[in-house]
Amino acid sequence: MIKSCFNIVLVLNIVLIVHFASADIYLHNPRGSNNRLDEAGRARNTATRLFDSQNNNRGGYNVGSLYYYTGSILPIEWTNQHSCGDINSHCEIVLQYACGDDIRDGTTTNRIPADRSRCLDNNCQTDPTYGLQESYEHYLMCTRRQRNGGLYTADQRLRGDTARFTRQNPGGTQYGYECPEERDYYPYWHHSPWRDIAILTNDPTRCSFYKTESANVKDRFECRLPVEQLESNRGLTLPSNESECMKLPGAKWTRQPAWGIDSPVCRTAETTRDNHLGNTAQGKAVMFNWTVPDHLAGEKCVLRVRYNISTGDYDRWSTFAEHNNGGPVEFYKKFGFASKAAADARGFKLVNNPQVQLFGDSSKFKLQLNINTAQFGRVFQDRSHVFHVRARPSSIPSSAEILNLNVRGKRGNIVQVYPAVEYDFVPHLTHAKPGSYVHPQWTGSNTNPANNDGQGLAGTDRSNMLPLHDLAANIPDTNYSQGRNWTLNNGIGDWPLSDLTNLALLSPQPQLGGSMQLLNDAGTYFDLGARRVTNAGSWSFVCTRNNNFSNRSHKGRLVCSSDRSDTHVVDGQAYTFKVTDGTKTLAEVTVPAGAFSSLRYLQLRVTPHSAKAAKTDSDSVYGDTWFTDLLRIDVDGQAGEAFATPLLVSMVTNDGADPTEGHDVQVYRMETEFSSAVSHHGPLKSAEATRVEFRVDRPGVYAARGFANAPFGFVGLIVGLLVAALLISLIVAGIIVHRRNPEFFAEKLRFVQRSTQSKV
């Protein structure tokens, strides 16, 4: 009995550890390279080309560049293998970008040399042959700077003392110009060319730390010597602290100013499961909506995603160099041993593949654990190829959202492309508002493995986009093929016929005949440009070349709705969200810290009150004046449940409705926008001529309504009506009595006079 329990524990342990060694991350949009360039092999040629991914060699997509407008929303999608956002491991996902004039994809799959004499004009920084994502100087400084001696390296023997050598890279292998110490640790303490977008973590209590320590907002310092001096003096080591730096002749303790941009977003990671390159627990693609910052206009950039998973066997934030060789000192306590020696003797120490003797003397057998201390706590990574950022065209108002609509995946069946993915549109479902701009753009490749399944010329991928009646269908809209007129909601986005034919035939770059049935003679790259979606509607679309029911699905959908609706990911932190109609803020919802205990999807939607009035019998609604529209607050996975702390809502009042003037305004709650069951929710917290504020304690639909000329409020009105009714009936009764017996009141009056007199 005991033995079988033991086996289960051990098996679990071993399983857990094995997967540490293969928990990869693959970026799907923008296309992650996993160090590929354009090689036709299923595996990448050079795992060291640009960066240390520690991923499976088969991942990645071939090079292809897109551009994004500033202010546009880029859906960043990836898959990570060993779960995040659940209790199976500690995890952080760190999203960053770097830009620069010399950043390039290169033309060879070889790694850029560290020795610049091997590059064109003795200058690797500018040699167009080699891909470059970090600078020559960044790598040079890294290879000469003293490593941080306080870091926990377990029992790994680092073969050098500079930042090139880490627990995860003890041999100091060169990966492009990436600095291994900077790669493995975040936030990094010296200069890094990477600017932060977001940190998604299991432990949101660390968010305030990430937000204040991010190089976006905090200066960094490092010891610097001129490049020539470092190159000519190979034995030199740059100290990593100021006092030592000052002692080195010619060296300067140099400030790298903060990037001067917003702190990164930081929140709980969505739940993904182990051993599965898949979706979140909600069945959505693992993703982050990145708004491309305005300050990137005109830049060439790359995107980087790191996936950091750490074991729960030791405290990762307080285990340092003094715990090296044998594991953290607390290990013996944690496993119930009297001393470190006793724990060591039974194999309970953090070394490679220890053999543990669980039952002490009663049973001598040992079982080996699969531990690689270089990977017990490990960072995986993927990066995009180069992309370009263009300023938002002046024809697109700055208040309008621009939604990127791209294609992910590559040619092949699901087994052939794995761990990359088959084709899909990204996002699969685009949510636009009237006035939003949608920017369809994608790229393919001519050098996929020649034997991968797919339509069209072997080894190539191309994509197009044609209207489809509904997503379950596979044959494009016949109205197009019959050459009929496009009518409302018929062609994608209600865009003009020219756009629709361009999306179908990958023009306007003229495709001069040739084999176009399968788009073989079209180029890999296609850009429609940003197109306005003016009308509400829902459009499905299909890629005729790649969609092959039931073998492969390449479809997507665009929904444009005048409901002003947004979905936000929230956790236990404080947030403020706005619902806008594209130009003005209709509602603002403040979520106090602690309102939610774990990750939730908070949906906010504003529906005009006129839409309700049109659909509902207005008699069933209390009050007589709409002060606001209807705000719907939905929480996935928490339907109807009260918030731990009420949310504060601020809504604009309807034109001309001033709640401070002669009205009693109250807040009402409905289950849905159009349900007639309306309940009184509570009074306003505060009101101004243009805005009302109130608190809500659970999901539902809320609106403020008023009673003209009812100074005592809703309850007051009822009481007032009752009092009035009572008074009227008394008066009526009095009149009747008086008519029948005119002496009645005179007698009563005399009686009152007598009784008061008798008391005197």
Ligand X SMILES: *[C@@H]1O[C@H](CO)[C@@H](O)[C@H](O)[C@H]1NC(C)=O
The residues binding ligand X (CB under 6 A) are 92, 94, 146, 184-186, 239, 241, 243-244, 287-289, 306, 308, 310, 316, 377, 379, 413, 431, 453, 455, 469, 478-479, 484-485, 487, 490, 548, 551, 567, 569
In the complex, the smallest distance separating the C-beta of residue 165 from ligand X, rounded to whole angstroms, is 15
Rank residues 254 and 567 by Cβ distance to ligand X and give the closer one: 567
In the complex, the smallest distance separating the C-beta of residue 371 from ligand X, rounded to whole angstroms, is 15
In the complex, the smallest distance separating the C-beta of residue 319 from ligand X, rounded to whole angstroms, is 8
In the complex, the smallest distance separating the C-beta of residue 286 from ligand X, rounded to whole angstroms, is 8
State how far the Cα of 329 lies from the Cα of 339, in Å rounded to an integer.
9
State how far the Cα of 179 lies from the Cα of 188, in Å rounded to an integer.
11
Rank residues 479 and 553 by Cβ distance to ligand X and give the closer one: 479
In the complex, the smallest distance separating the C-beta of residue 19 from ligand X, rounded to whole angstroms, is 16
Angle between helices 743-759 and 713-740 (to 10 degrees): 100
> Is residue 208 within 8 Å of 217, Cβ to Cβ?
no
In the complex, the smallest distance separating the C-beta of residue 37 from ligand X, rounded to whole angstroms, is 25
The shares of helix, strand and coil residues in the chain, as percent rounded to the nearest 5, are: 20, 30, 50
H or E element at residue 729: helix 713-740
CA 756 from chain centre, in angstroms, equals 83
State how far the Cα of 1 lies from the Cα of 189, in Å rounded to an integer.
51
> Is residue 306 within 8 Å of 23, Cβ to Cβ?
no
In the complex, the smallest distance separating the C-beta of residue 388 from ligand X, rounded to whole angstroms, is 23
Please report, for residues 181, 197, 423, 546, the alpha-carbon distance to residue 407 in angstroms, rounded to integers and kept in the order given: 34, 22, 7, 11
Rank residues 239 and 720 by Cβ distance to ligand X and give the closer one: 239
| H-state helical runs in 306-348 | 331-334, 340-345
Rank residues 96 and 443 by Cβ distance to ligand X and give the closer one: 96
Rank residues 300 and 410 by Cβ distance to ligand X and give the closer one: 410
Rank residues 104 and 323 by Cβ distance to ligand X and give the closer one: 323
Rank residues 308 and 666 by Cβ distance to ligand X and give the closer one: 308
User: In residues, how long is the chain?
Assistant: 760
In the complex, the smallest distance separating the C-beta of residue 40 from ligand X, rounded to whole angstroms, is 19
Rank residues 517 and 686 by Cβ distance to ligand X and give the closer one: 517
Q: Which residues contact 31 (CB under 8 A, 6 or more apart)?
A: 61, 62, 64, 384, 385, 408, 443
In the complex, the smallest distance separating the C-beta of residue 345 from ligand X, rounded to whole angstroms, is 27
Rank residues 200 and 621 by Cβ distance to ligand X and give the closer one: 200
Looking at 409-508, which runs of residues are DSSP E strands? 424-426, 429-432, 436-442, 466-468
Rank residues 284 and 685 by Cβ distance to ligand X and give the closer one: 284
In the complex, the smallest distance separating the C-beta of residue 97 from ligand X, rounded to whole angstroms, is 15
> Is residue 197 within 8 Å of 288, Cβ to Cβ?
yes
Please report, for residues 85, 102, 603, 732, the alpha-carbon distance to residue 600 in angstroms, rounded to integers and kept in the order given: 12, 41, 10, 61
In the complex, the smallest distance separating the C-beta of residue 224 from ligand X, rounded to whole angstroms, is 15
Query: Any idea what DSSP says for residue 526?
Result: E
State how far the Cα of 90 lies from the Cα of 173, in Å rounded to an integer.
26
Rank residues 569 and 606 by Cβ distance to ligand X and give the closer one: 569
Q: What is the largest CA-CA distance in the chain?
A: 126
Rank residues 125 and 638 by Cβ distance to ligand X and give the closer one: 638
In the complex, the smallest distance separating the C-beta of residue 153 from ligand X, rounded to whole angstroms, is 12
In the complex, the smallest distance separating the C-beta of residue 379 from ligand X, rounded to whole angstroms, is 5
State how far the Cα of 306 lies from the Cα of 378, in Å rounded to an integer.
10
In the complex, the smallest distance separating the C-beta of residue 118 from ligand X, rounded to whole angstroms, is 30
Q: Which residues contact 313 (CB under 8 A, 6 or more apart)?
A: 350, 376
What are the structure tokens assigned to 465, written together?
């986009």
Rank residues 82 and 116 by Cβ distance to ligand X and give the closer one: 82
> Is residue 181 within 8 Å of 166, Cβ to Cβ?
yes
Burial class (CB in 10 A: 0-12, 13-18, 19+), 310: buried
DSSP assignment of 147-211? P-TTB--TT---S-SBTT--SS-TT----TT--HHHHH-SS-SS--S-EEEEEEES-GGGHHHHH
- The closest alpha carbon to 33, from 17, 10, 15, 55, belongs to 55
Rank residues 85 and 106 by Cβ distance to ligand X and give the closer one: 85
Q: Which residues contact 658 (CB under 8 A, 6 or more apart)?
A: 689, 690
> Is residue 201 within 8 Å of 100, Cβ to Cβ?
no
H or E element at residue 356: strand 355-356
Residue 193 corresponds to which amino acid? P
Rank residues 97 and 707 by Cβ distance to ligand X and give the closer one: 97
In the complex, the smallest distance separating the C-beta of residue 495 from ligand X, rounded to whole angstroms, is 14
Rank residues 430 and 666 by Cβ distance to ligand X and give the closer one: 430
- The closest alpha carbon to 602, from 277, 267, 198, 278, belongs to 267
In the complex, the smallest distance separating the C-beta of residue 362 from ligand X, rounded to whole angstroms, is 35
| H-state helical runs in 607-708 | 609-615
